[in-house]
Amino acid sequence: MGGIKLFETTFVAAVTWLVWRVLSARRRSPLRHIDGPPANSWLEGHIPDFLVNESDSWESAIEVACARYGGIFKGSLYFKIPFLYVSDPKALHHVFVKDMQVFEKMEDSVMVSKMSFGPGLLSMQGAQHKKQRKLLNPMFNMAHLRGITPTFYDVAYRMRVTIGKHISYGHSAEIEMLPWATRAALELVGQGILGHSFESLEEANSMGTYTTTLKNLVPTWSSFTVSRRFVLPLVQNIGTPEFRRRAIGFIPWKKLHLFRDMCDLLYNTSLEIYRAKKNAYLEGQHENASQGSGKEILALILKANAAASDEDRLTEEEIIAQISTFTFAGMDTTSNALCRVLHLLSEDPEKQDTLRREIVGSRKHAGDLNYDDLMALPYLDGVVRETLRLYPPAPHLVRVPRENTVLPVSKPIRTTKGEFISEVVVPKGTVVVCSVFQSNQNPDIWGEDAKEWKPERWASPLPESVNEAKISGVYSNLMTFSAGGRACIGFKFAELELKVMLSILVEAFSFSLPKDSKVVWELHGSAHPVVQRRPDGTPVLGTKFGLPLIVSLASSG
């Protein structure tokens, strides 16, 4: 009875709070004259159109809206609660750099991150986040990346050998590449950051429980959109964390139970890795391959943390949280990005051949390229940059101002009254959806061919408009890895992952698209490849998420 009573109380409180929010949102607001597309649903607003979309229509819908309404327009969340959709470079600079202390992550997003990973980089804000970045930033410098590059090659070769066993000369095989990309990305993070092996990559093409959990985490988050926003803020301070966790068992909600079990698995795995690595560090033993070489980033973190002052030192709980954070962030986005590149290369055999010729030519005499030589390959660099420009794995970043503020725009926008304005008054608490992919594809910045995938664009000087836009992103005038103090700490690590994997795979294999299936990219927090069903209604290879490709041995010529 106690569990039912708790559920009823929480439900009533949630409904009361929800009604209050709806009524508050409908009062006269500084946003009332900001223009935007009409929503198809009062209940769901633009969420199924722009933010969580089980088709590939979200890209075109947003492109049309940005073209019509400009760099800032108004949309609707649940129950007509307004949000701002921002792609203007000047406004984005204010959100992520100039006024970053004003714009914070959404409260529900922070809570979900903390439940999933603990008090790590994704779930900390303010002074504590700065403290963690201060210790962790030096761990991802180029010197450390150079040291782990041979480890990356080892992982890539293991994957290549296993895939090659399914193919013989003159023949091809349909191979589901998403599990391979996921397993390889996880192993790269495991070996390069943690000194831990998650995947042997020598077995059948399937993902283990831990790998599957990480891959399904974002889609699971996306299924809690309503409760995350409206219920979590109400219940976050009820009792102790242990009480709240036990209370979940009394709520008849299978998806919530699944999420709890996912969080448990992530924590227990990270705790096991931390204890093993801490013992190895204390004993000075890094000779065992399963414990890493001592060059992996976690070993360096433990060493730096031990030498830090009391005020700068991270707690064990924080370090364990970083393990979960790095594992998730390094695997999910990188595996999707690798799949996107392979998908694009499969659609364009000519560009695939160009990339292969560059890789084969560079490796003919040098073998495995060191970090600097690999990074210097111009066409490989263009393929990676152009893919991350046009198809960022995380198309949106969401922020909320903690006080009333103003967002200026580089190009005036038109209001519903027909007036043109150069700044937008943003009330405290307004949801601001920052469009990474529209910033990266803005034709005013990148030119008329901004929507085209052209790796060769990076071989020539970029348009002057790119420099004039003063985009704040940390990577190649792009917002792909965010900007400012919350920019992705491991973006060079991710770039190295992609380039090593592509150099080894494209050298050995030729990739093409199956004739009986089509892959689209759905939006579930991040963009995921989804296999469209065959005409008879059966899913290709028995799965929804996936990237089936025809793989054959590449010609050595």
Q: How far apart are CA 522 and CA 519, in angstroms?
A: 10
Tokens of 197: 């092996």
The amino acid sitting at 191 is Q
Q: How far apart are CA 113 and CA 105, in angstroms?
A: 11
CB contact at 8 A, 176 and 547: yes
CB contact at 8 A, 201 and 156: no
Q: How far apart are CA 103 and CA 401, in angstroms?
A: 4
Tokens of 186: 């996880």
Exposed, middle or buried: residue 126 (CB in 10 Å: 0-12, 13-18, 19+)? exposed
Tokens of 112: 């979900």
Beta strands 431-435; 396-401: pairing state = antiparallel
Q: How far apart are CA 393 and CA 154, in angstroms?
A: 25
Q: How far apart are CA 173 and CA 487, in angstroms?
A: 40
| DSSP 8-state class, residue 545 | B
| DSSP 8-state class, residue 501 | H
SS3 323: helix
Positive or negative: CA dihedral 232, 237, 238, 240: positive
Beta partners for 545?
530
Q: How far apart are CA 459 and CA 447, in angstroms?
A: 16
Tokens of 96: 């992520």
Binding site per annotation, positions: 488
CB contact at 8 A, 133 and 482: no
Exposed, middle or buried: residue 27 (CB in 10 Å: 0-12, 13-18, 19+)? exposed
Specify the length of the chain in residues. 557
Beta strands 473-475; 478-483: pairing state = antiparallel
**Nearest CA to 339 among 387, 303, 292, 405?**
387
For 204-234, the DSSP string reads: -S---HHHHHHHHHHHHHHTTHHHHHHTHHH
Beta strands 82-86; 431-435: pairing state = parallel
**Nearest CA to 21 among 69, 66, 80?**
80
Binding site per annotation, positions for heme: 488
Q: How far apart are CA 376 and CA 385, in angstroms?
A: 13
Tokens of 544: 């929804």
> Strand (E) positions, 353-504?
396-401, 405-414, 420-426, 431-435, 473-475, 478-483
Q: How far apart are CA 549 and CA 343, in angstroms?
A: 8
